[in-house]
Amino acid sequence: MTLEILTADILGPVRHGFFTRRGGASSGVFSGLNCGTGSSDQTEIVEINRNRVAEAMDVPRDRLVTVFQAHTPDVEVVKAPIRGDRPRADAMVTNTPGLALAILTADCQPVLFADKSAGVVGAAHAGWRGALDGVLEATLDAMEGLGAKRGNVRAAIGPSISQRAYEVGPEFFDDFMMEDPENARFFAGGQGDRMQFDLPSYGLHRLRRAGVGEAEWIRHCTYCDPDRFYSYRRSTHAGEADYGRLISVIRL
């Protein structure tokens, strides 16, 4: 099956893609393009999938760069292919042509950034914790360190869990109220003490408040479309032992 690659108009001619699960070599609960080395999928199959992604992005495999994601606000400035252990970070930026920055997700926000005029791109893994702790703003700061101007940066949020599928409890809500009482607007009432959280809208809010030139969510829900997307929460609800990881990539 051919790879399916979603794109965002606001990123324009900058080479990028939010890859769906279609077109991969994995099987079982991972069926499709599982690119997660942290999953229990066969290592050699995940490598086949990553090779397909590198080929689609027109880069050698060693120039498809990933980091060890841990829900942090940490950003890695990438100047060359990473050898050995991957750095612990949840975002990357580069101004080196031919390097492809790749983020893995399975409900969290994959966010791709580009300042085409400055020749700087970035990619961030922004779940609720990373977004709350400032990973999106930290990515913009790191891009500015490479010569970007945040008013020229365009940012696109890829397939993520949507509000109707994201039920959370009161402790979660309290964390956001402590950050800013106006965050209440990102929650809708649910059953009992449960609420529905709008992660993509919160991500857009943080990006726009930080001063990006333009930002959008491409409006695909990972939970609601099992044929196209992996979802940690959906797999948990289904009692599955593990789940695949989607990959999102940007390069100069």
Domain ranges (residues) in the chain = 5-162+198-251
- In angstroms, the CA 17 to CA 56 distance is 9
- In angstroms, the CA 53 to CA 49 distance is 6
What pLDDT does 84 receive?
82
Tokens found for residue 20:
């769906």
What pLDDT does 1 receive?
67
What pLDDT does 130 receive?
97
**DSSP 8-state class, residue 184:** G
CATH hierarchy code of domain 5-162+198-251: 3.60.140.10
Segments of the chain scoring below 50 in pLDDT? none
* Whether pTM exceeds 0.95: yes
Sheet with strand 5-6: strands edge to edge: 5-6, 16-19, 246-251, 100-105, 64-65
What pLDDT does 190 receive?
81
Burial 43-71 (b: 16+ CB within 10 A, else e): eeebeebbebbbebbebeeebbbbbebeb
What pLDDT does 191 receive?
84
User: φ and ψ at 118, to 5 degrees?
Assistant: -90, -10
- In angstroms, the CA 190 to CA 195 distance is 4
Torsion of CA 234, 105, 64, 151, to 10 degrees: 150
